[in-house]
Amino acid sequence: MQYVPTIGLEVHAELKTNSKMFCGCKNNPHDGEPNAHICPVCLAHPGTLPVPNQAAIEKVLLFGKAVGATVATFSEFDRKNYFYPDIPKAYQISQYAYPFLTGGEIAGVKLTRVHLEEDTARSQHDQTSGSLVDFNRAGVPLMELVTEPVIHDAATAERFAKELQLLLRTLDISDANMERGEMRVEANISISETEELGTKVEVKNLNSFRSVVGAIDYEIARHKEVLSSGGALYQETRGWDEVKLKTFVQRTKETAKDYRYFPDPDLTKMDMASISARIGENMPELPQEKREKYSNLGLPSDQIELLISHRDLNRIFAELVLLNPKPDVLKLAGNYLTSDMVALVGAGSVSFATVEVGKLAELMNMLHLDKINSRTAKNLLSELFVYGPTIEEIAKERGLLQVQDETALQSIVQTLINENPAPVAEFKSGKTAILQFLVGQGMKLSRGTANPAKLAELITAALS
């Protein structure tokens, strides 16, 4: 049988705000001791009233503008009623009928809606202490995004999730670190032989891209096996075991009726026109815009993806572009940044945070103008992390400027001819591949300062 998988994603992202969604507590669930950032509001003490965080609402609307979503003219918050130990009120303030955003698209995947809610507390389970609850995360602004059921394989789901994370970071509305729970993916998966969707299973709280792919692939294979053997699938919620690499049943799947949504009477209705009018005035350059711009500079796609996805490389290259060097210089910079610079920082002796971008532009420009060669450029990379003399001043002081003077190079050529009679004889006999060896010997004699192309030209002329 030919089964077609259909996947829809729900993604939660914790927003970067100073305070929580409905109170003034510090929004930093990873900082401090458990239950340090709490108050009567986020603990749901009797008589307390929530107040919406306008910064969180504005961040969601900024996201909507970036993905081409439609902003609601009217919105409100609802109570989503269910009881878990990590829900202090026995309901979660969320949105149901009137989300802030509808529609939009990311990486070719259409969005259904985007709404705003409060995060839950964090449960911790210990065999000795039992189950403990840390309320530092309770009430943190949480943006929930729901896609249309238009994804048909795990690779597309992974590509969407990565692009979403990159967009959240570009807009600076969420750090979206999956390992810290700041971005959590849930996959709704079904398979069918017809255009009608099959029985849907939801896999919750996938906290890495590898888990997203693994859980989706596992569920598709499980569904096929069950149906092919004549069994039945049930609408349920499952978890992902990262050790056993398989899903497991958590509970039967709830429906909207189970949550008994109703408008929160403690929160006012919202006319979105006045809020949305001022959003997006300082929209940063979006990932796709950067891809197109850097592609026009001639950078290969793998370099572009690394440059825009790595925070420090993204910042450095963007600053370099603002300095307006020539496209050929930017191409050189892209190559050195994504290879040699990454390796240098990876060694642990220097940090991207201290890179002198002006010096980087100077170094790449000198390389482009043949004032230094590639080996010298690599050796001078460490000087980009130190405030002080210019790169040209350092190169002059160390005698590293590339020798262009033909008289000086002719002297080097004559010396290497005298000192290498056998390779010279091979070249004269027609074995031209030996030229690279002779150029290498010339570079040694010049201590790496000779222009290798000019050197090859003069050696060829001398031996012809």
Domain residue ranges in the chain? 4-276, 287-397, 406-463
Give the pLDDT band (50/70/90) at residue 253. low
Q: Is the pLDDT of residue 288 over 90?
A: yes
Phi, psi of 114 (to 5 degrees): -140, 125
Two tokens at 216? Answer: 């989706």
| Residue 208: half-sphere exposure toward Cβ, Cα within 13 Å | 8
Detail the DSSP E strand segments found in 107-235: 109-118, 122-126, 130-134, 141-147, 183-192, 201-206
Give the pLDDT band (50/70/90) at residue 137. very high
Which segment of 308-322, 374-388, 405-419 scores lowest on mean pLDDT? 405-419
Query: Taking CA 333 as the corner, what is the angle to CA 329 and CA 336, rounded to the nearest 5 degrees?
Result: 140
Overall average pLDDT of the 133-144 stretch: 96
Q: Which residue blocks in 324-451 are alpha helix, DSSP H?
A: 327-336, 342-346, 357-368, 374-380, 391-397, 406-419, 421-428, 435-445
Q: Is the pLDDT of residue 447 over 80?
A: no
Residue type, 230: G
Q: Which of 324, 312, 325, 322 is nearest to 351 (CA)?
A: 312
274-278: long-range contacts, CB 8 A cutoff, minimum separation 24:
275/54, 275/57, 275/58, 275/61, 276/61, 276/71
> What per-residue confidence (pLDDT) applies to 233?
94
Q: Is the dihedral of CA 204, 77, 42, 18 positive or negative?
A: positive
Which segment of 137-146, 159-168, 369-378 scores lowest on mean pLDDT? 369-378
Q: What is the pTM of this model?
A: 0.86
Write out pLDDT tens, residues 219-252. Answer: 999 999 999 999 999 999 999 999 999 999 998 8
Alpha carbon distance 160, 185 (integer Å): 11
Phi, psi of 4 (to 5 degrees): -110, 120
Contact 141, 15 (CB under 8 A): yes
Write out pLDDT tens, residues 403-439. Answer: 766 777 888 888 888 899 898 888 888 888 898 898 8
> What per-residue confidence (pLDDT) applies to 279?
86
Alpha carbon distance 170, 438 (integer Å): 50
Work out the mean pLDDT of the chain and round it to a whole number.
Answer: 92
Alpha carbon distance 221, 204 (integer Å): 18
Q: Is the pLDDT of residue 368 over 80?
A: yes
Contact 13, 168 (CB under 8 A): yes
pLDDT above 70 as % of the chain = 99
Q: Is the pLDDT of residue 38 over 70?
A: yes
Overall average pLDDT of the 315-319 stretch: 95
CATH topology of domain 406-463: Arc Repressor Mutant, subunit A (1.10.10)
Which segment of 46-55, 68-77, 185-194, 244-253 scores lowest on mean pLDDT? 244-253
Two tokens at 29? Answer: 């669930």
Alpha carbon distance 455, 450 (integer Å): 7
> What per-residue confidence (pLDDT) applies to 274?
79
SS3 307: helix
Which of 168-177, 279-288, 442-451 has the highest mean predicted lDDT (pLDDT)?
Answer: 168-177
Overall average pLDDT of the 191-210 stretch: 94
